[in-house]
Structure 1
Amino acid sequence: MTPAAPAARLPDGFTVRLDPRTRRRDGGAALLGGSPLRLLRLSARARGLLTGDRLAVRDRTTAVLAAQLLDAGIAHPDLRPRAADDVTVVVPVKDRPVELARLLAALGSDPATADLPVVVVDDGSAEPVTAPGVRVVRHQVPEGPAAARNAGMRAAGTPLVAFLDSDCVPRTGWLERLRPHLDDPRLAVVAPRIVALGRGRGWFAGYEAAVSALDMGGQAAAVRPGSAVPYVPSAALLVRRDALGEGFDESMRVAEDVDLVWRLIRAGWRVRYEPDARVAHEHPGTTAQWLRRRAFYGTGAALLDARHPGAVAPVVMAPETALAWALALSGHRAGGVASAGVLAATTARLAVRLAGAGERPPVGFAALLVARGVGASGRALARSVTRHHWPLALSAALVSRRARRWVAAVAVADAAVAWVPHRARVGPVRFAVARRLEDLAYGAGLWAGAARAGSVRALLPARPRR
């Protein structure tokens, strides 16, 4: 069971800074930003407190405003790194003696972590782990990563625990950048950015370094389902022990980290992603290992949907947007006209909702937001065709020439759009081939997991959550 988050406010001195992508509107009376995108209207008193891009907590009023900005994703903590002397490092491991030695050496060479207590949980390795200077907890038979992490957390004697997988190597300063976030009494977990360890091996190394499933990107974020950072991987986490309760779900051998994060958020806790803290990870070395790992990740979707219905939907789309796309893709001129009409009506309704008291509806601004939403939903639909629902797309392509053309066009366009931000790191052809193979593997795992669970809910679209 996950404990409920406390009602405690942010402490005095805790500082937040507006996200660089946040935009002020209506003379500073509203802030536009966050993920999902939202418009936050400020009272006159709040506008007086937030005169610049930073807000330091100094009383209850500023604490409430700072918390609202954090929870909306419009602002992020602006904290100075500091020592983390109340942390135990927990390392789950199974049959990775070389990687474990490398990780322990990295911890010992960093002055900030050299004296921290370390608990290594040997999850049934063929050769029992021996690690001088650290505490070893051994499972005689493998019980899985969730059970190993829970055992390490129970063995820790500090209020905070840093989980590190054995194939990771933390970069200097990682923990000092994470630790100040836990001054927020409602923060349960903060995660660093996971980056590639070295140049990597295999022809797909450049692609994996650019868009690894473990790398949540370069922007700080509040973590929540349906946002730009919907989860954080357990390869490296700093957690508050009291918040986790019984910890990871030991019945899950995949996606147990996503489940934990979503349970914490549902219980009122905050979870954050801090990309300025970095931990390097040794990515798979062969094509077969890489694709098996992607398929394995896919099998977790059905397990997550059983625990968090609708949170893993491959496409999240408002009904009016779905109708507009259906009409536009009908292939008829009348469908295109009707689609434009649906979007115009949506724009008009949104403009009315966005207008402040006594203001004219901002039709142009509303049209921009609708266009952005339609574009994002279009990319999600394309991704669904090539990733989540490729067995259906392939079946249609086998019997229809028109479907073949559509599927081929979507596959090329999806790869091209995704490649542009990473064009300096990997070539277009290699990126496209790797993306298509990754999607095939993930989709195969997704369908296999759904079949094993006897439920197709993880394959179904969903409406946006309010």
Structure 2
Amino acid sequence: MTTPLPTGFRIVLDPDTKQLREDLWFGGSPTRVLRLTPAGRRAWRELADGPVTSPAGGALARRLTDAGFAHPVPPEPTEPPDLTFVVPVLDRPGPLARCLASLSRRHPALVVDDGSEDPRAIAEVAAAHGAELIRRDENGGPGAARNTALHHVDTELVAFVDSDCTAPGDWATRLAAHFADPLLAAIAPRVRARAKDTAAGRYTQAAGSLDLGDRPARVAPRTRTSYVPTAALVARRTALQEIGGFDPGLRVGEDVDLCWRLHAAGHRIRYAPDVHIGHHEPGTWRELLGRRARYGTSAAPLARRHPGYLAPLVLHPWPALTVAALLARRPLLAAGGFGGAVLSMLKTLRSNDIPTEGVVRAMGTAVHQTWLGAGRYGTQFAAPVLAALLVPRGWGRRAAVASLLLGPPLTAWAERGPGLDPARYTAGALADDIAYGAGVWAGCLLHRTAAPVLPEIAWRPLRVDSKEKRGPA
């Protein structure tokens, strides 16, 4: 049986969570319908009025937070956390000094010099800020540097922070409060981009790949937030030691791998965007796109290490048919596909005694999301093919291809309102996706696998908990 969320924790419902009936809840990630037993409904009344006070309340709180229906709010800690800052660095003494100056002096700091060309400069910065220094003679990458630090840390918690980050003094303390949950292994803040006032810098501030947005989440593969970057991460030292720390064989993607191995070991990882840290980003397109391509190369080794966890595009049959028909200008077929989507969902809901209001709107949203997902997938992994399809005559085909290329970035621009005009934002987003996709293809060729570029068909339209499910939920 899963360990309940401890006494004193509160929960807040996710914005997407909807109560369909007293015993039925809709939401979560992946989306599902949760059915509450009479005991579960009594436990919910406890949680709605205050913190966890009973085993039943704790069990329901765990169920809701694990499934993404709600997010935990820890009690106020009674004492300071037992914590060490770990800062891996390769050259760049200036950013290191800025990073160390931003950290709280209430906790020890350990700098790992991962083979810098000028070790004296790194040592001087570490000494000036009262940080302990460990020198690695050979560069092993960020994962190896963090593992070296773990051998020298004896505190309960480790707060990893990259040398190109700046963090408010209490960021790690605020995150450490969540470790009152004994199942929590790691938690990450929101990483906000800091960049020069250039077109590339403004694009990165609006769409930085390390910024996972403003919604809290449980971190798990195949959910809305499948990983968190380790640019800033507070972790339980014993949990990291249990899985052997970071994989030193990964120069990029080591953060994704760490999250997925912690998840496989039964631990919890959370994303807490109410805590922010700053990350200094490249100010030129060349640096930005080069980094995105490097990130892409991690997809293949991750897919080999974690089969089934990495899907670049998940398609539901009826919405996919609808989008394909619309792009092919087959309105009758599109109408049939949309009707099939509605009827399939109605059948699923009625067979499980679930209200059917809002099905048409939900299927419209599914079609819209499928179009956006297909467009971004095509840009990342088949941009030359889409570009070639723009050449032949026929405005219908050109309009369909243009919608795939331009629809996702223009939608993102409208939602985010970045400090760039739509034309430059769209150009930046297309270049970003193409660079990442090129890196993925390069990794696929190197590791001889096509898994990172293969879409997946999801035949089940909605996950519904069994009517016979027992327990407090």
Verify same fold: TM over 0.5. yes
Aligned AA (2:410): A
After TM superposition, the structure 1 stretch with the greater mean CA deviation from structure 2, 326-335 or 159-168, is 326-335
The equivalent of 1:13 in structure 2 is 8
SS at match of 2:357: helix
Q: Which residue of 1 aligns with 2:468?
A: none
Instruction: Provide Cα deviations, 1:231-279, integer angstroms capped at 9, x if missing partner.
Output: 1001000001111221111101111100110111122211100011111
C-alpha distance in 1, partners of 2:437/2:11? 39
Q: Corresponding residue for 1:37?
A: 31
Partner of 2:110: 119
Q: Secondary structure at the match of 1:363?
A: coil
- What one-letter code is carried by the residue in structure 1 that aligns with 2:238? D
Tell me the residue number matched to 2:17: 22
Q: 1:36 and 1:157, CA in 2 relative to 1: closer, same or farther beyond 3 A?
A: same
Q: Does 1:270 align with 2:262?
A: no
RMSD over equivalenced CA pairs, Å? 2.2
* 2:301 maps to amino acid: L
The structural deviation recorded for 1:59 is: 2.6
Q: 1:84, 1:175 within 8 Å by CA — same for their partners in 2?
A: no
Kindly provide the CA deviation profile for residues 276-323 of structure 1, in whole angstroms up to 9, marking residues without a partner as x.
111100011221111100111111111111112232222112334334
Aligned with 1:439 (options 429, 433, 438): 433
With over 3 angstroms needed to count, the CA separation of the structure-2 counterparts of 1:424 and 1:100, relative to structure 1, is: closer
Shift of 1:375: 2.2
Give the SS at the match of 1:389: helix
Work out the CA distance in 2 between the residues paired with 1:266 and 1:373: 30
Contact 2:81 2:176 in 1 (8 A): no
Amino acid at match of 1:151: T
Deviations 1:379-400 (A, max 9, x none): 1111111223324323444567
**Distance in 2, Cα, partners of 1:53 & 1:8:** 20
The secondary structure found in structure 1 opposite 2:59 is helix
The residue that corresponds to 1:191 in the other structure is 188
Aligned to 1:169: 166
Deviations 1:351-401 (A, max 9, x none): 224525xxxxx3333333333322222211111112233243234445675
Q: CA contact under 8 A between 2:143 and 2:251: conserved in structure 1?
A: yes
Counterpart AA for 1:141: E
Distance 2:12 2:342 in 1: 36
Find out whether 1:154 has 2:151 as its counterpart. Answer: yes
Q: Which moved more, 1:289-298 or 1:403-412?
A: 403-412
For residue 64 of structure 2, what is the aligned residue in structure 1? Answer: 69
Distance 1:400 1:84 in 2: 68
Distance 1:106 1:455 in 2: 43
**Alignment identity in percent?**
38
Q: Is the 8 A contact 1:224 1:271 kept in 2?
A: yes
Structure with more relative contact order (C-alpha pairs < 8 Å, separation 6 or more): 2
Show the counterpart of 1:237. Answer: 233
1:392 equivalent to 2:385? Answer yes
- Alignment pair present for 1:90 and 2:86: yes
Q: TM-score, normalised by structure 2?
A: 0.89
Structure 1 range deviating more: 285-294 or 347-356: 347-356
Contact preservation (8 Å) 2:342, 2:363: no
Shift of 1:204: 1.9
Q: 1:399-444: CA deviations, max 9, x gaps?
A: 6756544322322222211111221543212211111111111111
Secondary structure at the counterpart of residue 449 of structure 1: helix
* d(CA) in 2 for partners of 1:194, 1:103: 14
Give how far 1:152 is off.
1.0
Q: Match for residue 50 of structure 1?
A: 44
TM-aligned CA distance change 1:398 to 1:297, over 3 Å: farther
Query: Please, which of 412, 430, 450 is the counterpart of residue 456 of structure 1?
Result: 450
Give the TM-score normalised by the residue count of structure 1: 0.90
SS for the counterpart of 1:364 is: coil
Alignment map for 1:406-425 (pairs within 5 Å): 406-423=400-417, 425=419
Query: Is it true that 1:223 corresponds to 2:219 in the alignment?
Result: yes
Shift of 1:217: 0.5
Partner residue of 2:178? 181
Name the amino acid aligned to 1:259: D
SS of 1:17 mapped into structure 2: strand
How many angstroms apart in 2 are the aligned matches of 1:143 and 1:73?
36
| CA drift at 1:47 | 1.7
Counterparts of 2:319 and 2:399 in 1: how far apart (Å)? 24
1:352 and 1:221, CA in 2 relative to 1: closer, same or farther beyond 3 A?
same
1:325 alignment partner in structure 2: 323
Partner of 1:350: 348
How far residue 94 of structure 1 moved from its aligned partner, in angstroms, is 0.3
Q: Is the 8 A contact 1:173 1:277 kept in 2?
A: no
Q: Aligned partners of 1:72, 1:259: CA distance in 2, in Å?
A: 21
